[in-house]
Amino acid sequence: MEEGKELTDLEKAIQAEELNKQIVAEINSLKPFAEELKVYITGTDKNFYEYLAQEKYNYTQHGAMYYGIKQKAEGKWLASAFACLKEIQEKKLFDMQCLWHAEKITIPNVDASIDFMTYKDDLLNCPYLDPITDEDIEIYQQYLKSNNYELDAGEDIYRRIFSSFERLREAYNGDDDEEGINIPEWYDFHNGRTGKGVYMTFPDVRGEKEMFYQRLGADVEEVIKQEKAKTKDKEAAIIPTPINKKPDLQLHDKSVISFFVNTFEDKKTQNIYRKQSKMFDYLENEEYDYYEMLGILSQHCEIWPIEDHYDWREALNKCLERYSKSKITEALPLAYNQYKMYKEMGIPFEKDSNYDNNYIVDIIKGRILAGRKCNNEPEDFDF
């Protein structure tokens, strides 16, 4: 067989059988082992040899796989701990935005508020944030032990930092009329320990200036857009475009897929499709989440108590929350040590996403500059 070539199922079966025979031969050659078996009922030793051979085959061939599964599970908590580090830096960035918007500080390479978006996926590498300190970790550990801790809050980092900066500020000051925006628990906890909640009350001086220029710039864009539309209409009048009245084919509409399967496929394929559809419906069902919870809890050997509750699903959910908090608490010092090592060695952290935000930054900054020009002011950000 060529090196690196993947084995066929038949070749795998033959290899497994040969290895199993080899293991049986090795066990049979162990005389002290045979002597040990004499105290047991005659005849059972043969079955035991075969069983032991199978077990040895399993742990020698699949042990690495099972260890990898365990390592992956442990890696989940380390990743969650790193999300905590990002949440620490997220709050620092929010505080810095409050100060910058109030024109109490300036930041190198931050000309407009949209520039904060540059590091939305790269918080641990953000050059104008102070590095995480022992004090930061101590406060966050207190937060982990509190009843206010939000599990998986790191998933909302993008929404909280950028698209909702103003909304969060307004919600804190009671000015936001829309529902769905809440101050993150970590923000409240951190403000209670540091007194930085006052930052949210600072006026948004810079934001109001930017909005003035953005509106002027948007008006300029609208004029240009209308001129282009007129030119396009003139061209369309010369060469009329045929109107396509056919409906769009909805790729993700299950009824459409079902129609094609039931109309053009054979009975066997139709049956397979129905069974598979039921399985996917089950995976999308809310109850499947509870099987996932059990899967997470059963990956580890610890015995974890579950509290009484009239709804077993809620009891399971609370149990998983407490378990997750304990594992993240254990992993946080390790994540922090790795963070410090990376910082000392000058190793950059991996970005959360390779999505390029520069085009959005360029559009907004270009609109501000267009507004400045429209207002007969220099095309710069010195305002």
Instruction: Label each residue of the chain as H, E or C.
Output: CCCCCCCCHHHHHHHHHHHHHHHHHHHHCCHHHHHHHCCCCCCHHHHHHHHHHHHHHHHHHCHHHHHHHHHHHHHHHHHHHHHHHHHHHHHHHHHHHHHHHCCCCCCCCCCCHHHHHHHCCCHHHCCCCCCCCHHHHHHHHHHHHCCCCCCCHHHHHHHHHHHCHHHHHHHHCCCCCCCCCCCCHHHHHHHHHHCHHHHHHCCCHHHHHHHHHHHHHHHHHHHHHHHHHHHHHHHHHHCCCCCCCCCCCCCCCHHHHHHHHHHHCCHHHHHHHHHHHHHHHHHHCCCHHHHHHHHHHHCCCCCCCCCCCCCHHHHHHHHHHHHHHHHHHHHHHHHHHHHHHHHHHCCCCCCCCCCCCHHHHHHHHHHHHHHHHHCCCCCCCCC
Kindly tell me if the per-residue pLDDT of 106 is higher than 60: yes
The domain segmentation of the chain, as residue ranges, is 10-61, 74-208+349-374
Mean pLDDT of 217-224: 84
Look at the block and give the residue holding tokens 């002011």: 377
pTM score > 0.75 for this model? Answer: no
Comparing 181 with 176, the larger pLDDT belongs to 181
Contact 59, 107 (CB under 8 A): no
Mean pLDDT of 231-254: 65
Contact 161, 93 (CB under 8 A): yes
pLDDT score, position 224? 81
Q: Indicate the range of 53-57, 117-121, 342-346 predicted with least confidence.
A: 53-57
Per-residue model confidence as pLDDT tens digits over 286-309: 554 655 666 666 666 567 777 777
Contact 114, 360 (CB under 8 A): yes
d(CA 51, CA 42): 16
pLDDT score, position 104? 95
- Would you state the structure tokens that stand for residue 33, as one six-digit string? 């082992």
pLDDT score, position 9? 63
Per-residue model confidence as pLDDT tens digits over 70-98: 444 557 888 999 999 999 999 999 999 99
Comparing 341 with 250, the larger pLDDT belongs to 341
Q: Indicate the range of 121-135, 152-166, 339-353 predicted with least confidence.
A: 152-166
Per-residue model confidence as pLDDT tens digits over 140-179: 999 999 988 887 655 555 445 544 677 787 777 776 555 5
Mean pLDDT of 217-237: 76
pLDDT score, position 340? 94
Mean pLDDT of 55-71: 53
d(CA 288, CA 293): 9
d(CA 341, CA 9): 46
d(CA 150, CA 143): 9
Q: Would you tell me how many other CB atoms lie within 10 Å of the CB of residue 86? A: 19
Per-residue model confidence as pLDDT tens digits over 9-37: 666 666 667 776 776 676 666 556 556 65
